[in-house]
Structure 1
Amino acid sequence: MGLGWRPEIDLTVERLPDVDFVEVVAENIRPGRLPESLRVLRGRGVPVIPHGVGLGLGDAAPPDPARLAHLASCAQELDSPLVSEHLAFVRAGGMEAGHLLPVPRTREMLEVVADNIRRAQDALPVPLALENVAAIFGWPEDELTEAQFLAELVDRTGVQLLVDVANLYTNQVNLGLSAVGALDALPLASLAYVHVAGGHLHDGIWHDTHQESVPEAVLELLSELCARVEPPGVLLEWDDAYPSDAALAGELGRIRAAMTTAGRP
């Protein structure tokens, strides 16, 4: 069981029992000047995964070499088993989107993203895992579903998958895309680990906020995933409005129960 490490809850992450691995936002740390809490966790043998949010593997331009070098340095400094990033469009023409936007899922864009992934893989000292994103819109020119697009990328590049079941739920609510259908189409044999998180509905739009209790519908999707494959790890993301240690422990317990419901330990 994993938990997203944030500086606001560093001591909580250290204290909670049965946290088997953590994930840290790569853009928020400096190799060579790691927070003491991450050093403590590494000293205990807890794996730490750098999780990128700004590489822009879904951009038309190739990944920035400086950003790739930073991810590589994070992985080396933390002795990480892998690095994860998003299948997302984040910038164009020097302008930042300020959000992880969905990639136009066309055959032409598939070639671009596959090339970007290969460049990233060549620059990283460890395997790369690619995460599906939450969306409030889809591109009208889409030719493939997200699951088909990801499956093609896995086939072409060997990239691993970070499946965010909360994001699958978001896209089901906002775009009418079947989350269970996505699980059936994704190449789960290439699964690196899983994300779960909370959110809320506002004016008919599901907002993936990462600051609320995980809804039962997301836990049901986790059970569906676990019925298909035993995930190497499941990680809870919580990014703001942090609850008590007991509340976070309770959320981790709910996640474990959802995994057990699917017949997995």
Structure 2
Amino acid sequence: MILQISHAAGVGIALTSELGAEVVCRDGEKFDFIELDPHAIHLTADVESAITELAGRYPIVLHSTRLSICGDNELDRFQIEKTDRIARVTGCEYYSDHLSYTGAGDINLDLYMPPEYSDEMLHYLYDRVNVVRDSTPCPFALENVAMLVTQSKAQYSELDFIDTLLKETGVGLQLNLQSVAVSAITLGQEPEEYLKLFNLDNVAMVTVVPEGSMNPVLRRKYGAGINGLSLRMLKYVLENSSTDRLMVQGREGDDKDEFLRFYRKAYAAYYAVRMGGHETIGQRGVAR
């Protein structure tokens, strides 16, 4: 069965963690769409049937974590073809991955490292991004990742590099506000001022990550005050862009109640800006 594409707008939750399952299963919890990681799905006939049934109830977006689009590895054709199949059976209208290395060669380190901001890397990425973009039936977007060190030999700023890549390939930006904040601090800038330098016309979806869901190393260095900062940055993006998707991202092992408190604040912030507090966007999901 191939579903018609549905409009995944509003506030989403990833079903790739216990946190996501908690939101989906908790009585009365509200969400608008569900995110799946195609790399985490072993696509048997039973699994395909299950995700097709899930897509009949909620809009689906895909966000993969191991493409390593900036790496020196060959793009994984099996994963690309699997993603295409999942997108078609779920009616997915949006697919994203990270603008990063995730390892070296065939070794995946589950780390997100930004590319070198050079002409050579730009041209290398044009072909790779275009391959992925053309291999799925839905629009493709790249998620910015945090800069932990400056690049002394960079030919572009992070902003100019991203803008040029998106313009040449026609893909969107999944704007991770935590990554914006960390990159700003690395560059010696105020996060909210650095955010204003981004071209928000490129934003296809916004991602927020609460303090408790941050990478533990990043949390120790950058976590203080990140929840309030993220919500202020979110409000700015919603007021100055046309994006209609927000993803609240969690991690395995997080405190569920702490995560849900932040999730509800982000959910309310989204609707306060987009709909004046009225929840009418998308195909409303309410856990039962």
Short-chain TM bin: 0.7 to 0.9
Q: How far has the Cα of 1:236 moved from its partner? A: 0.6
Runs of 4+ in 1 over 4 A off after TM superposition: 35-40, 211-214, 246-249, 260-264
Preserved contact between residue 2 and residue 21 of structure 1 (Cα < 8 Å): yes
Using a 3 Å threshold, how does the CA distance of structure 1 residues 76 and 263 change in structure 2: closer, same or farther?
closer
Contact 2:201 2:242 in 1 (8 A): no
1:161 and 2:176 matched: no
- Structure 2 residue 60 is the aligned partner of structure 1 residue 34: no
Deviations 1:71-110 (A, max 9, x none): 2122123221121100001233434343111111111111
Q: Which residue of 1 aligns with 2:158?
A: 146
Matching residue within 4, 13, 18 for 1:3: 13
C-alpha separation in 2, matches of 1:73 and 1:174: 39
Unmatched 5+ residue regions in structure 2? Answer: 1-10, 277-288
Q: Could you tell me the TM-score, scaled by structure 1's length?
A: 0.83
Match of 1:186 in 2: 198
Q: Choose which of 70, 77, 86 in structure 1 pairs with 2:82.
A: 70
What is the match of residue 241 of structure 2? 229
The runs of 5 or more residues in structure 1 that have no matched partner are none
RMSD: 3.1
CA displacement at 1:218 relative to structure 2 = 1.3
Letter of the 2:30 counterpart = D
Counterpart among 180, 184, 193 of residue 172 in structure 1 = 184
Distance in 1 (CA, whole Å) between partners of 2:253 and 2:49 is: 23
Could you state the TM-score of these two structures normalised by the residue count of structure 2?
A: 0.77
SS of the equivalent of 1:140 reads coil
Q: Tell me if the contact between 2:103 and 2:111 (Cα under 8 Å) persists in the aligned partners.
A: no
Identify the residue that residue 199 of structure 1 maps to in structure 2.
Answer: 211
Query: Is contact 1:134–1:170 with CA below 8 Å preserved after alignment?
Result: yes
Q: What is the identity, as a one-letter code, of the residue corresponding to 1:256?
A: Y
Contact 1:134 1:208 survives alignment (8 Å):
no
The verdict on how the C-alpha distance between 1:108 and 1:83 changes in structure 2, with shifts beyond 3 A counting, is same
Compute the displacement of 1:196 (Å): 0.4
Cα 1:179–1:213 change in 2 (3 A) is closer
Corresponding position: 1:256 with 2:267: yes
**Residues 16 and 40 of structure 2 are in contact (CA less than 8 Å); yes or no, is this contact kept in structure 1?**
no
* Distance verdict in 2 for CA 1:186–1:161, change over 3 Å: same
Q: Which moved more, 1:155-164 or 1:85-94?
A: 85-94
- Which residue does 1:125 correspond to in 2? 137
Residue of 21, 40, 61 corresponding to 1:49: 61
Deviations 1:161-187 (A, max 9, x none): 111111111222344355345533433
Work out whether residues 129 and 192 of structure 1, in 8 Å CA contact, stay in contact via their aligned partners in 2.
yes
Percent identity, please.
Answer: 20
Q: CA deviation at 1:118?
A: 0.6
